[in-house]
Amino acid sequence: MEYNITIPDGYYEISDLNAYFQSIMIANTHYMTNYAGQFIYFLEFIVNTSRYAVQINSYPLDTDIQSSNGYILPTGATWSVPTTSTLSQFNINTTGFGEVFGYEIGSYPDTQVGSSTLRFVSSEAPQITPYSSILVSCNLVNNRAVIPSNILTSYTPLGASIGSLFTFEPNYLQFADVEDGQYTQLVLEFRDQQKYCHKRSQHVNHFIHRNKKIKYLNIYTGDIFSCRLVCGARHSFRTPR
């Protein structure tokens, strides 16, 4: 029998999705317990760190496996243990969910007949977070090595949980030329690889840049970063350590 699962909108890690999936199986009594009272599930998905993938595990079940392991059906279960070895099957029906797990639309495994554990890993990199990199741009910068030319630097947001701040500490100063001209504001933007702006900090003050010399030196400290314009032929921007 097939059951459809709709995942509510929210922020999830793979372990959270697996926990939600198991809660649905508990609600439907699609599990068993052992003598120690531990819950036994016959389908799960976990993180395979070495393969950078989501791994789907499908475990076989029949009456012989039940008796040899001492598995017990939960109270209120409306299903019976099959006499022939049967595998649980996980169906991915939408491309959106498939991209999250790194799987194509399909059934895993493609058949429920089997007597041994089957394991599947993502065929593509899972898209758990849509942000693979953050681009830092500045309206004063003229970086002739990249397009667009106002890109100052980029970094990968790693090591931070959902909703928390992450810290970017470059190992060296980031240098870029500033065009001659008159400016009334310094604007720094943080955008993801889809060009969505996550943070825009603006400081209004009048200064003139001529012949690679700053006529008015301005220092700004924001809630995420600090930047410094250094007089000279090149100007460095750095985050606080």
Dump pLDDT digits (tens) for 24-42. Answer: 999 999 999 999 999 999 9
Tell which wins on pLDDT, 159 or 191. Answer: 191
Handedness of CA 80, 70, 86, 1 (dihedral sign): positive
For residue 112, give both structure tokens: 């429920």
Q: Which residue has the tokens 């009594």?
A: 29
Q: Helix %, strand %, coil % for the chain, to 5?
A: 15, 35, 50
For residue 109, give both structure tokens: 């495994």
Q: Give the span between the Cα atoms of 185 and 206, in whole angstroms.
A: 7
pLDDT tens digits, one per residue of 185-223: 788 888 876 655 555 555 444 344 444 433 333 333 333
For residue 152, the tally of other CB atoms under 10 A from its CB is 21
| Lowest pLDDT segment from 42-56, 66-80, 81-95, 194-208 | 194-208
Could you tell me which of 84, 74, 13, 11 has the C-alpha nearest to residue 45? 13
Q: Give the span between the Cα atoms of 158 and 141, in whole angstroms.
A: 26
pTM of the predicted model over 0.95: no
Task: Give the whole-number percent of the chain exceeding pLDDT 90.
Answer: 43
Residue 70 is predicted with a pLDDT of 95
Band of residue 19 on the pLDDT scale cut at 50, 70, 90: very high
Could you tell me which of 107, 102, 23 has the C-alpha nearest to residue 58? 107
Q: Which residue has the tokens 């003050």?
A: 205
**67: which residues sit within 8 A by CB, 6+ positions away?**
none
Q: Is the pLDDT of residue 122 over 60?
A: yes
Q: Give the span between the Cα atoms of 179 and 59, in whole angstroms.
A: 64
For residue 88, the tally of other CB atoms under 10 A from its CB is 20
Q: Work out the average pLDDT over 122-138.
A: 81
